[in-house]
Each structure stands twice: as structure tokens, then as C-alpha cells.
Structure 1
Amino acid sequence: MKKLIFLSTTGLFLMFSCQQKTTATVETNAAVPDTIATPKKEEKLVMNDAEAILARKEVPILCYHNIKDFPASAGEMTKTYTVKPAAFSEQMKALADAGYQSILPDQLYDYLVYNKPLPAKPVMITFDDTRGEQYSIGAAEMKKHNFKGVFFVMTVSIDRPNYLSTTAIKNLSDAGNCIAAHTWDHHMVTKYAGEDWNTQLVKPKAKLEEIIGKPITNFAYPFGLWNKEAIPEIKKSGYKMAYTLSTKRDSIDPLFTIRRMIVSGNWSTDRMMESMKTTFVNAK
């Protein structure tokens, strides 16, 4: 009898345990969703044509060369292409106080081509000719206002005295600035033929990409001079945009004739701010 009671009790215990396990399994399975969310399709971007790009409001783009002191007796070329350090500092502060925010070429491209938004008051700050003080003074002053710049480098000058070093170029890029090409040795694009395109466009691009480890997709014409024959070669070399000075944009290739304004060392800060408005009359 005792044996029979023991077997009955054991059987009830095992049955009750199995029921508990079954119930737990059902509750766990019930918590697993029986459907899988379908991922959203990426929005297909439509590129603007030349007419639509030209209809977009321009962004003020400033162009600096030398940032150093010069005497009152300096020649007009020096005064035009050189801004004193104190003046540059004052100009950056004036831009910041007026609510301007710096943008870089990728942002400009997306704005012009895909209608993507920009800050309410955008400005692009660019530097030509690879001068060393653009790093030691220019980048340092811009950093105070959270500005980033575009540095157009002619590769023949890299690591020469008073010019940007390889290390400086890499540091500028790593800090979020844009490194761009300005030919090998600053010869006018309008004079190129044969091997010149490779020497002045392709090799500098490759050299800069080797230094910073990123694609180089922007190019500035020496002296701001360009012709229609140059644009297909620039495109073929892998550039997305090219920059002139204050001349009219091309109606067919506006992305390769983007306008900039040289900031003269003869100007006061107020004059510089006013020149931005008159040069880019339809600016954002």
C-alpha cells in the first residue's frame, strides 16, 4: 500500500512539473512578435539641372591669400592679397556676431544639387596658395568661432618654408576642414595642353588624397581664370565642383564656375561685410 501511495504521489508531482514547464514555454513564445517590420525604402534623390542650380540663392564665399602684417609702403598687389592678422581676427568675429555659420563644399553641393537645407546665414571661408599662416593664424582664429574652412593647396609648395607642411594639411583635415586642389604650380588653366592636365589636375589630387586619406573633390582655378575647354578635363579628373572669383557663372556648368570674393587688405571689416552683400546680391 505504501508503495502504491508513493508511486501515485510521484506521478502527480511529475505531471504538475511538466504542466509548469509547458506553461512557461507558452508564455515565453507568446512574447515573440509574429511579424517582422519592413525596412523603409531610401528616398531617391533627383538632381537639379543647370537652370535649377542657377536659380538657387548664392552662398557668400570669401577668398583669403596671405594673413600677415605689411607696411603702409607695401605695393597694391600686396595690400590686395594680404589681410593683417588683427583684421582677419576682427572679420571672423564680425561674421560670428552677425550670426553667420561656416559651411563646407559637400554642404554647398547638396544645397545646389539636391535642395538640401543650409544654416539661415551660411558663409564659406576659403584660402588659396598654401601659405603657412593660413594654418597658424587662419585656422586658429576660425576655431574660436567654430568656423571651418576650405584650403586650396598647390602641391609644389608643400613642406617649403612659409608654406603648409604635410603635417599641417593632415591636421587641418582631421580637424574637420576641407582640403582641396589648386593645381601643382599655379599655372593658368587656360594655357593647359597635353600632359598639363595630368600634371596640374590628376597628380595633385592623388598627392593630397595620400596625405589626408580622403577624396579630393574640389578645385580652384589659379587667378580665377577658366575656359570651357577646361571643364570636361576637371570633371574627368574626379572633381565635383570648381571655383572661380567674382566672374559670372557658366549657364551650362554652374558647379564648375562657383563664385568667390577676394577679401582685400585695404578693406575695413565694415567694408568687407558690405562687399559680401553687394557681390552676392541674391545671397541667402
Structure 2
Amino acid sequence: MKTTLFFAAIGLCLTLSCQQNKEIPAEKEAVIPEKTAVPKTAEKPILNDAAAILARKEVPILCYHNIKDFSDSAGEMTKTYTVKPANFAEQMKALADAGYQSILPDQLYDYLVHNKPLPEKPVMITFDDTRGEQYSIGAAEMKKYNFKGVFFVMTVSINRPNYLSATEIKALSDSGHTIAAHTWDHHMVTKYTGEDWETQLVKPKAKLEATTGKPINYFAYPFGLWNKEAIPEIKKSGYKMAFILSTKRDSIDPLYTVRRMIVSGNWTSERMMEAMEATFKNTK
């Protein structure tokens, strides 16, 4: 009898022990600590030198001025610097149909300096001299294809008749276009002395920044004319890149001699496409 009671007591103890083990809350069970994540070493950004920048394939950059109708008897300067609205519309459609995607200067800078990728067929669409139809016709036509452009503003003309108003400039900036500087009064850079640098580079930048509420990092030379003396002043004024026309680039500061191509009013959309692809075909 004593033996039976002994084994019964042992059995009761084992049963209670098992029940207690099952009732241990999950949070009190042994937890295997996770491995501490080892932080990855930050990759150093690529910073291309002048030779590497020049070795990058050039991106097609179109330069427009006036977008308005003109007669067959118009002078050659008018025909060169003015594209009819119907032709501009055809050219935007031709770019879209060919698979081109618009890019902006920030993307171009990252491509040239940091080897960042661009769309397969990039194009930059730029406008000089602050003409009002660049907003009413140019931006409106580009919107159909989700194109964004770069508007190089000559600040003396802001709010004048037939030129962009401060409100329109702000609206362009707010809708994703880039606003950039084109001097105060289109005085050519190669003739600057003394206070001209402040008047033509620094003050326009400040005025456009106040108008848009954004940094103004890019500049276009009036008439596309530049010299080596201007580049240090443009850098000192806080610009990251400067744009010329289809002339030779500087081997030391290629970021301050980025090429563009004027779109002539004499061209059809087919001729414009041919000229663009020939001008920027595999060029370095």
C-alpha cells in the first residue's frame, strides 16, 4: 500500500510539473538574440574630372527663342530665331513619336559628373530671352507630351509687354520646369568688366530665386559667346553649369561650356530631327 501511494505521489508531481511548463508565457521563453546588423560602408559618389566629362556622350539640347508666325519676306535673323507655332507643335510631336524624353539640367549634371543614368533617348528643350509665347505656346504644347523645359530668363524683361511675367515664371517653376539665368540685359559676357559681373550674374540669380523660391543653378551665355575669363566668375556666382551654342567646349571646364543647338525657323520637323541627331551623334 505504501508503495502504491509513493508511485501515485510521483505521478501527481510529474503531471503538475508538465502543466506548469505548458503555462509559461511565451515572453518568458528563452529568446535567441538577433544578429546585430553590420552597417554597410557608404559608397563614395563618382566625381568625374574634366576628361571623363568630355568623354560622356553629349545629350541633344535644343534652343528656341521666339515662337510666332512670320511672313516669307521676314529678314534672315527673324527666320533663324523664330519658329512658327505650327512648326513648334510638329517638332514636339516628332520628338515624342521618336521616343525622346525630356530631361532637365539637374539630371544632365548628375549624368556628366556622377555617371547617373538617363532615359534611353534624352533631349533637353531650352528657351532663351524670356518671350511670353514660350509660356502660352511653348509650355502648353510640351504639356501634351509630358515634356519639361528650361527657361533662361533675362531679368530686365520680366513683366514687360510680350515677355514673361513674374507670375508666369513662378508657374513654370511650380509645374516642374527649370528656371535659369540669362543675364540682366543680354549684355555679352566677353565684354564684362568691374561691376558687370555683379549686375549680370549675381543680381539676376538672386531675383529669380526670390521669384521662384528655388535655387538658380544654371546659366546661358548671351549669343552663346564665352571666354575663359568668364568661367571663374560664373563659378563664384554659384552656378553649377553654363550653356553655350554649337561651338567648341572648354577642355578644362566642360561643365561651363555645355553645347546647345538653335532650332531655325527655316526647318521642317524632319529637318530639325536630322540636324539634332547629326549635331549630337556620338559627339564627345
Structures share fold, TM-score greater than 0.5: yes
Equivalent residue for 1:115?
A: 115
Query: Is contact 1:277–1:283 with CA below 8 Å preserved after alignment?
Result: no
Matches within 5 A, 1:195-274: 195-274=195-274
> By how many angstroms is 1:170 displaced?
0.8
> By how many angstroms is 1:71 displaced?
1.2
Distance in 2 (alpha carbons) for counterparts of 1:216 and 1:260: 19
Distance in 2 (alpha carbons) for counterparts of 1:157 and 1:22: 81
> By how many angstroms is 1:281 displaced?
2.8
Equivalent residue for 1:25?
A: 27
* Partner deviation per Cα, 1:47-99 (whole Å, 9 max, x = no partner): 11111111111111000000011111111111110000000000000000001
> By how many angstroms is 1:283 displaced?
5.2
* Partner deviation per Cα, 1:3-50 (whole Å, 9 max, x = no partner): xxxxxxxxxxxxxxx9888524325x84x9644434433321131111
**35-44 vs 100-109, greater mean Cα deviation:** 35-44
Structure 2 counterpart SS, 1:126: strand
Equivalent residue for 1:88?
A: 88
> By how many angstroms is 1:176 displaced?
0.8
Q: What amino acid sits opposite 1:183 in the alignment? A: T
Query: Is contact 2:46–2:115 with CA below 8 Å preserved after alignment?
Result: no
* Partner deviation per Cα, 1:197-248 (whole Å, 9 max, x = no partner): 0110001001111111111110000000000000000000000100000101
Structure 2 counterpart SS, 1:44: coil
Matches within 5 A, 1:101-250: 101-250=101-250
Aligned residues: 268
Distance in 1 (alpha carbons) for counterparts of 2:40 and 2:142: 40
Matches within 5 A, 1:7-86: 23-26=25-28, 30=31, 34-86=34-86
Structure 1 counterpart SS, 2:205: helix
> By how many angstroms is 1:116 displaced?
1.2
Equivalent residue for 2:278?
A: 278
**191-200 vs 45-54, greater mean Cα deviation:** 45-54
Q: Which runs of 5+ in 2 are unaligned?
A: 1-19
Query: Is contact 1:60–1:283 with CA below 8 Å preserved after alignment?
Result: no
Distance in 1 (alpha carbons) for counterparts of 2:26 and 2:52: 64
Structure 2 counterpart SS, 1:242: strand
Q: Percent identity?
A: 80
Q: What amino acid sits opposite 1:162 in the alignment? A: N
Distance in 2 (alpha carbons) for counterparts of 1:172 and 1:37: 45
Q: What amino acid sits opposite 1:198 in the alignment? A: E
Structure 2 counterpart SS, 1:95: helix
Please provide the CA RMSD for this pair.
Answer: 2.0
Distance in 1 (alpha carbons) for counterparts of 2:251 and 2:57: 15
Distance in 1 (alpha carbons) for counterparts of 2:268 and 2:43: 47
* Partner deviation per Cα, 1:237-268 (whole Å, 9 max, x = no partner): 00010000010111111110111000010111
Distance in 2 (alpha carbons) for counterparts of 1:23 and 1:283: 72
Structure 1 counterpart SS, 2:167: helix
Equivalent residue for 2:5?
A: none
